[in-house]
Chains A and B, each alone.
Chain A
Amino acid sequence: MPAEKPLYALTGLELLGLIKQKKTGIADILESQSLRTKAVEEKVKAFARFTDNTASGIPIAVKDNICIQGQPTTCASKILENFIPPYDATVIQRLKKAGFIIQGQTNMDEFAFGSSCENSAFFPTRNPWNPDCVPGGSSGGSAAAVAADEAIWALGSDTGGSIRQPASFCGVVGLKPTYGRVSRYGLIAFASSLDQIGPLTKDVRDSAYLTNIISGYDPNDSTSLNLPVGDYLKSLEKDIKGIKIGVPKEYFSLSGDGELEGLDREVKEAVREAIAQLRKLGAEVSEVSLPHTEYAVAVYYIVATAEASSNLARFDGVQYGLRVRSADNLIAMYKKTRQAGFGPEAKRRIILGTYVLSHGYYEAYYVRALKVRALIARDFTEVFKEYDCIVTPTSPTTAFRLGEKLENPLAMYLSDVYTISANLAGVPAISVPCGSSKAGLPIGLQITAKAFDEEMLFRVAYNYEQATLWHKMKPNL
């Protein structure tokens, strides 16, 4: 019985149901949440800052890279420490219109560069399941806030797995919608051709509900598509009998290579069991091939850093954000400001991106990467001609320990190996809890569907979720 649980522990739709039945009110919810936050935020450190709200509404946490008018929005970077956007991102407008208030902005890897939340200029966020472990990243704050019941639900952004990987690490549901489904207007860009905003929620129903609110064409975003948005809650009602699921063999043959990790045995087992469960529910599962998978990480780090190097050029101390004033000429001002304002990972990616776009290297790196990107996208198109969705692990491992991969960027990059392809191909993918390691850390199952078929994702994810209890597990905080 939901009512026996404290309000903060309920899902969004459970709370909306209670409000509708007049069994609770917004004020009670806010109070419950505030008590919860006071009790656990010190341990989790999910939030960059909380909002002083004058308006009342259903609270939601938002990643600190989505612009909110009049509220500092910093991308967890010193260079934007004092930046207050003069406008609301389209998703914020949609949420406000639907009666939401922003309870606070969640911590993240600086400019979404990272998979652990350790690259935040503020502080690292902890995994609610084990404070010595990372929550994943870059939307680690949003995932941790939802997992810790500090937030009912949250928005994140996903460029190469930044919603799904932390969702997997924290045992929540995370969706990266199809590229073009949700407006990027107001999302401070990391890699414009890959970025997409999506929800992090306690279960699939909440995910479907929030996705319906934030989706749709936006004339302010030329990359958003003018296609009808399905009724995602309704798509949950269908069973999955006869649905064709592909399991790409490449994702399970990942081998350990020196210090680089392969697919964790516990993760592999959990995903195998999840696949068995899907079979039991009537799905037809077969092995498929995504032959260009092995190039995904390399392609991603060329395309994403190239775009990032250009997107981050505007942070120069001229108009907004940090300006180091001790410089005596323009070039020195640029250099000192960017040197002081960006963290090491941001600098690494700007340098890498600048390099791959440079004269003499552009053809060899960037142009080639675009060609391989097209092949990766084609792999998916081919599979989706016959299959309704693809099922894989979300991450090769469970949450790793703080500091474990900080000195080894390549190992950190490889933790995105399963999530990156969906961004490169522009297809939607969701991570749902599908197990727990012996150490008590959550494991995520990733479901990928063809472009603009979020309905299929929700349908399969929901049927799986209802047949298991993983989403009911809560960390002991």
Chain B
Amino acid sequence: MYETVIGLEVHVQLKTRTKAFCGCLNEFGSGANTRTCPVCLGFPGSLPVLNEMAFEHGMKVALALNCQIQNFTKFDRKNYFYPDLPKNYQISQYDLPLALDGGLKIKINPSATLRIDGERSRTIKDKEKTIPVKRVHLEEDAGKLIHEGQDSLVDYNRAGVPLLEIVTEPMINSPDEAYEYLSELKAILKYLEVSDCDMEKGSLRCDANISLRLPGEKKLGTKTELKNMNSFKAVREALHYEIKRQAGILESGQRIIQETLLWDEALSRTVAMRSKEEAMDYRYFPEPDLPGFVLSEEKIRAVKDNLPELPQALKQRFIRDYGLSDYDVEILAQEKQVADYFEACFKVYPRAKSISNWLIGPISYELNSRNLDIQSLGLKPPELTALISFVDQEKISNLSAKEVLTERLNSKNTIEEIIKEKDLLQIRDSGELSAIIDAVLGANQKSVQDYLSGKTGAMMFLVGQAMRQSKGKANPKIAQEMLKERLKNA
């Protein structure tokens, strides 16, 4: 068996008002080349001016990844010719990047997180690993090529959008670790509100390099680079595929060729990008249009002090303050919005477990089936807690409540209106229930006898009958109590 060695290079588009080096709006969906100016088109004579917000976003990410922000930083030009690159060089950072030497803690057994229910054992949870982050640097994005028949067109709306490149050391040892690293990184970026992290839209891109070596071997094997993976799942699959492919080559005594491979999602395989990869010489040199600058300790501290709560701190706090299980917290904390929503609910209705169950269960179901996030669902936290309290007070059944939720999301009616309209309030009144109990006892003598002869399971059948009789409105708990009471006296 071989040891797998993976390094990841993630590019995230930063969410800023304007582009990295000009005043054009950093937004998508507008017509081709409408978000451009002489600077981001690289017109002769134009000059870049650094967007401070983009830089500050970069600092936030670097600090959240425990990187060392460099006191002196500068930009460099990466020179290569391509039509999507207006100046034929990219403003990037080479030898003095924004930050170096960080790390991101991940759980080493991620599949367990998903599969083992509520009471995961502590020993599994405690297996953690820190993936070293080598560097974080700021650069500009390129435009987009559009091929139409014989012609190639360029849309420069994306050119000059701020990109943050986050590079790990090659110290990830499995596709699952890679997946977990990416999920954890994405959560952090979302908590920092610096990026949409939408892989489908390209606001988060991931390249991987991978090599195999025999256990105990110190030297790294020949690596291949994987590109064109459009989801974290695709990253994991591509890595799995590449491990098998490389292992096969090594088993047969052949050598790995260092090359760039593209992941073909449809065929579930990697394909070589070009038969012979030319060794690129980017001729990096300091960008003379942007003087390097010194970052003061105060500035770094100010950004650090203003960092929002990050996923791991939030998870610990939720466990501590709300008494929630690891499992619940893991899910609630996946999206910052959901965690915030939980807290908004808790403020008006301090029953953490009920809220958590509802968010993880029915709400999550509705979000998935409607393909919405919690903010666009249009359900205010007090509405949800009102519904939960109906259930908690046993005024309506759990099943009815889910129906109410769906109805509420489909219509504009309030929770209360829907419950009333659908006549879902449970019958708690003993007089009304009494008649139903009488009828059930009368019609099911066999079960009554079974119960009295010690077959306690018969009770459930009787309760079920009572529910049926009441068209689901009987409060099952009260019905059971009344049945027991009657049969005790029988």
A interface residues (Cβ-Cβ under 8 A, vs B): 66-67, 73, 75, 80, 83, 85-87, 89, 184-189, 191-193, 219-223, 306-307, 309-310, 313-316, 318-320, 330, 334, 354, 357-359, 362, 366
Sample of 22 A–B contacts (CB below 8 Å): A80-B44, A85-B43, A86-B38, A185-B47, A186-B45, A186-B46, A189-B44, A307-B285, A309-B283, A310-B89, A313-B79, A313-B81, A313-B87, A314-B42, A314-B44, A316-B88, A318-B83, A319-B86, A320-B43, A330-B152, A357-B283, A359-B281
B86 near A357 with CB under 8 A, answer no
Q: Which residues of A contact B172 (CB under 8 A)?
A: none
Distance between B289 CB and nearest chain A CB, rounded to angstroms? 5
* Residues in B whose Cβ lies below 8 Å from that of A67: 44-45
Q: A185-B47, A188-B44, A222-B47 are in contact. Are A314 and B86 (CB under 8 A)?
A: yes
A185 near B46 with CB under 8 A, answer yes
What are the nearest 10 A-B pairs in CB distance?
Answer: A313-B88, A192-B288, A193-B288, A357-B283, A188-B44, A186-B45, A67-B45, A359-B281, A314-B87, A188-B45
A460 to B304, CA, bound (A): 52
Bound-state Cα–Cα, A333 to B47, Å? 26
Known contacts A185-B46, A222-B48; A192 and B79 CB within 8 A of each other: no
Which partner residue on chain B sits nearest A74 by CB separation? B44
Residues of B within 8 A of A73 (CB): 44-45
Contact (Cβ within 8 A) A85 B44: yes
Among B41, B45, B49, point to the contact of A187 (Cβ < 8 A). Answer: B45
Question: Please, what's the 1-or-0 string for B46-67, where 1 marks a CB less than 8 Å from any CB in chain A?
Answer: 1111100000000000000000
- Main secondary structure, interface of B, reads loop
Residues of B within 8 A of A186 (CB): 45-46
The 0/1 profile, CB within 8 Å of A marked 1, for residues 276-315 of chain B is 0000010111001111000000000000000000000000
Most interface-central of A75, A83, A191, A220 (chain B CB within 10 A): A220
Cβ distance B99 to chain A, nearest Cβ, rounded Å: 21
Chain B contacts for A306, CB-based, 8 A? 285
A221 to B39, CA, bound (A): 11
- Complex: A75 Cα to B48 Cα, angstroms: 21
Give chain A residues whose Cβ lies under 8 Å from the Cβ of B81: 313, 316, 334
| A-B contacts besides A75-B44, A87-B38, 7 pairs, CB < 8 Å | A86-B43, A219-B49, A222-B48, A309-B283, A314-B88, A319-B41, A366-B285
Residue B154 interfacial (CB < 8 Å) = yes
| Contact residue among A83, A319, A357 (Cβ-Cβ distance under 8 Å from B79) | A357
Bound complex: CA of A309 vs CA of B42, how far in Å?
A: 15
Bound Cα distance A66, B45 (Å): 8
- With the chains together, A86 CA to B38 CA distance in Å? 8
Q: How distant is the Cα of A366 from the Cα of B43 in the complex, in angstroms?
A: 26
Is B77 engaged at the interface, CB distance under 8 Å to the other chain?
yes
Given contacts A222-B50, A310-B77, A316-B81, contact A189 B45 (CB under 8 A): yes
Q: A188-B44, A222-B291 are in contact. Are A310 and B285 (CB under 8 A)?
A: yes
Looking across the interface, which residue of chain A has its beta carbon closest to that of B287?
A192
Q: CB-CB contacts of B79-104 with A at 8 A, as 1s and 0s?
A: 10101001111000000000000000
- Chain A: which residue is nearest B80 at the CB level? A313
Task: Compute how far the CA of A185 lies from the CA of B417 in the bound complex, rounded to whole angstroms.
Answer: 65
Q: What B residues does A310 contact at CB under 8 A? A: 77, 79, 89, 283, 285
A108 to B77, CA, bound (A): 28
Q: How far is the CB of B272 from chain A (nearest CB, A)?
A: 20
Whole-angstrom CA separation of A221 from B22 in the bound complex: 11
Contact residues in A for B281 (Cβ distance below 8 Å): 358-359
Assess A221 versus B88: contact at CB under 8 Å? Given A306-B285, A313-B79: no
Residue of B nearest to A353 (CB): B283
When each residue 393-427 of chain B gets 1 if its CB lies under 8 Å from chain A and 0 otherwise, what string results?
Answer: 00000000000000000000000000000000000
**Nearest A residue to B77 by beta-carbon distance?**
A310
Are B45 and A313 in contact, with the CB atoms below 8 A? no
B17-57 near A? 1/0 per residue, CB < 8 Å: 00000000000000000000010011111111110000000
**Cα distance A290–B87 when bound, in Å?**
38
Contact residues in B for A334 (Cβ distance below 8 Å): 81
Q: What separation, in Å, do the CA atoms of A219 and B39 have in the docked complex?
A: 13
A253 to B284 Cα, complex, angstroms: 38
CB distance from B490 to the nearest CB of A (A): 92
**Closest CB in chain B relative to A300 CB, distance in Å:** 14
The reply to whether A89 and B45 form a contact with Cβ atoms under 8 Å apart is yes
Q: Which of A185, A188, A358 contacts B283 (CB 8 A)?
A: A358
Among A188, A221, A313, A358, which residue has its beta carbon within 8 angstroms of that of B89?
Answer: A313
Residues of chain B within 8 A (CB-CB) of A354 are 283
Which residues of A lie under 8 Å from residue B285 when comparing CB positions?
306-307, 310, 357, 362, 366
Contact B89 A83 (CB under 8 A): no
* Minimum distance in angstroms from B95 CB to a CB of chain A: 11
Q: How far is the CA of A235 from the CA of B447 in the complex (A)?
A: 114
Contact A223 B283 (CB under 8 A): no
Q: How far is the CB of B154 from chain A (nearest CB, A)?
A: 7
* Complex Cα gap A193–B77 (Å): 13
CB distance from A312 to the nearest CB of B (A): 9
**Distance (whole angstroms) from the CB of B200 to the closest CB of chain A:** 28
B318 to chain A minimum Cβ distance, whole angstroms, is 45
Q: How distant is B90 from chain A, measured CB to nearest CB, in Å? A: 11
Q: Is the CB of B38 within 8 A of A192?
A: no
Q: What residues of chain A lie closer than 8 Å to B86, measured between beta carbons?
A: 314, 319
Closest to B290 in A: A222
CA distance A80 to B43 in the complex (A): 11
* In the complex, chain A residues whose CB is within 8 Å of the CB of B288: 191-193, 223, 307
Q: Inside 8 A of B283's CB, which chain A residues have their CB?
A: 309-310, 354, 357-359, 362
What distance in Å separates the Cβ of B197 from its nearest Cβ neighbour in chain A? 30
Q: Tell me, in angstroms, the Cα distance from A125 to B349 when the chains sit together.
A: 85
Residues of B with C-beta under 8 A to A188: 44-45
Tell me how far the C-beta of A84 lies from the nearest C-beta in chain B, rounded to whole angstroms: 11
User: Which residues of chain A are near B291, meaning CB under 8 Å?
Assistant: 222-223
Contact digits for B128-165, partner A, Cβ 8 Å, 1 yes 0 no = 00000000000000000000000010100000000000
A121 to chain B, nearest CB (A): 15
B213: min CB distance to chain A, Å: 27
Cα A87 to Cα B45 in complex, Å, equals 10
Query: In the assembled complex, which residues on chain A have CB atoms less than 8 Å from the CB atom of B290?
Result: 222
Query: Roughly how many angstroms separate A186 CA and B154 CA in the complex, as a whole number?
Result: 24
For residue B83, which residue of chain A has the nearest CB?
A318
Please provide the chain B residues from 71 to 127 with a CB less than 8 Å away from any CB of chain A in the complex: 77, 79, 81, 83, 86-89
With CB as the reference atom, state the residue of chain B lying closest to A180.
Answer: B291
- Please measure, in the bound complex, the distance between the C-alpha atom of A85 and the C-alpha atom of B45, giving whole angstroms: 9
Report how far A6 CA is from B278 CA in the complex, Å: 66
CB distance from B77 to the nearest CB of A (A): 5
Inter-chain contacts of A187 with B (CB < 8 A): 45
B88 touches A330 (CB 8 A): no
Is the pair A318, B44 in contact by a Cβ cutoff of 8 Å? no
Give every chain B residue within 8 A of A359 (Cβ-Cβ): 281, 283
Closest residue on chain B to residue A316 by CB atoms: B88
Name the distance in Å between A369's Cβ and chain B's nearest Cβ: 11
CB of B156, distance to nearest CB on chain A (Å): 9
Contacts of A358 in B (CB 8 A): 281, 283
Residues of A within 8 A of B88 (CB): 313-314, 316
A184 near B43: Cβ-Cβ < 8 Å: no
B21 to chain A, nearest CB (A): 9
By the criterion CB–CB under 8 Å, are B49 and A220 in contact?
yes
Closest to A193 in B: B288
**With the chains together, A315 CA to B45 CA distance in Å?**
12
- CB contacts (< 8 Å) of A318 on chain B: these are 83, 154
Closest to B49 in A: A222
Q: How far is B37's CA from A186's CA once the two chains are assembled, in angstroms?
A: 13
A31 to B88, CA, bound (A): 45
Chain B neighbourhood of A80, CB < 8 A: 44
Closest CB in chain B relative to A471 CB, distance in Å: 32
CA A220 to CA B88, docked complex, whole Å: 21
Closest chain A CB from B74 CB (angstroms)? 12
Considering the chains assembled together, what is the distance between the CA atoms of A334 and B42 in angstroms? 17
- Residue on B nearest A313 in the bound complex, by CB: B88
Q: Collect the chain A residues with CB atoms within 8 Å of residue B46's CB.
A: 87, 185-186
